[in-house]
Amino acid sequence: MSSSQHSAELPNHVGILGGGQLGMLLCLRARQLGIETTVLMDDAESPAAATADNTIIAPMDSLEAVARLINCSDVITFEFEAVNDSVLDAIDAAEARNEVMANPSPAVMRLLKDKGLQKSWLRDEALSTLPFEMLEAGTTLDDLLARPGVAIPFVQKARQGGYDGKGVQIIHNEEEAKNLWPVPSIVEPALIDCVEASVVVVRGTAGDMAAYPAVTMAFEPSLNAVATVISPGEISDTIAAACRELACRAVDALGSAGVFAVELFCTETGEVFINEISPRVHNSGHLTMDGFEHDQFEQHLLAITGRPLAPVTPTAPATVMLNLLYRDDQAPAHTGYVYSAALNDVGSAALHWYGKKDAKPGRKMGHINATGPKTSTALTNAQAALQHVRDGAFSPTPYSKETPSQ
């Protein structure tokens, strides 16, 4: 247990489960806030190793390693959803003994990591979501199609383990339906003509809340992964307000602290449905790093440690984010270190590189944020910056732990 647990001081040591780019970016912001971090990661070359104050290298389901993380932390938080139940149980028990706090709570993590439980909760809370059916492992297509309301096309989502487009498949026709996954899943209607939006909501330990404007997302079809995020989203003010209201109601109902990304479907007829909720900082919120005075990583740290939330203030009228999904012509993919680089010669743009050692097609290697007086300008700046990345036309400086990133 960290020493500040014994005093009235605010928590000042955050333990993070997960050492990927989200953990890396949380640690960068924590250093600016004067908050110490310890990250549990299963690979010493994970991105967060470059920015964490302390690391514990062990399997993510190691209860001994989790106990060490609890022992040195005031607050535990999570970089990913798929946390082992035994790990959540250990954190829950430590919190009950007042040894540590956990934000979001283990109960919320259990709920949201299982898409079946999450959808059932949304329905029970009267939070707008698409109708769905639960599939047990081995459910046949005939059995599924015999259920009232189920028809092709539909979407199958594995109940656990899906992320970045993995664990989701759209069934367009009977031929594709022959490849129904034999795993516990949910099935819901496929909305062919809709806009996918996201609202990043932050909730403090006292129930105080803030929300960033609704963004809209475009996807790389072959990977079903987010390619472009635009803020403010390309939806009407009325729909944007409906997205924000629904997202805030959902996060408030969860009753836990931290940043939550609420992904939504917006239909042509003006309906808004919650797709899913992620209990963590999120890819759809990365543009807050350059498009707002206080980003989602800072807000998450403020929220989970009981500090006042920061105002949501944009730095420009429009911001666009491009995900850098690995391609062979992206020159920096082999640099293997974490950095940010301003690309001012192509407009107001910045590159954020995650320092992943292994590159493979489709993997998220970094992202570009660009701002502008309107969306079209921001998008032009982002695309010009992307070409610079592919050309290797910049000189990045590796992040140094000795000098916190500004």
Q: Tell me the binding residues for ATP.
A: 115, 157, 188-191, 196, 275-276
Q: Report the amino acid identity of residue 255.
A: G
How many CB atoms neighbour CB 367 within 10 A? 24
DSSP state of 34: T
Preceding amide of 104 cis, omega within 30:
yes
| CA 73, 77, 78, 79 torsion-angle sign | negative
| CA 299, 99, 22, 228 torsion-angle sign | negative
Residue with tokens 């959808």: 119
Binding-site positions: 115, 157, 188-191, 196, 275-276
Q: Would you give the distance in Å from CA 25 to the centre of its chain?
A: 12
Buried/exposed code over 18-39 (b: 16+ C-beta within 10 A; e: otherwise): bbbbbbbbbbbbbbeeebbbbb
Which residues 6+ apart lie within 8 Å of 48 measured at CB? 16, 18, 19, 20, 21, 23, 24, 26, 27, 39, 41, 55, 79
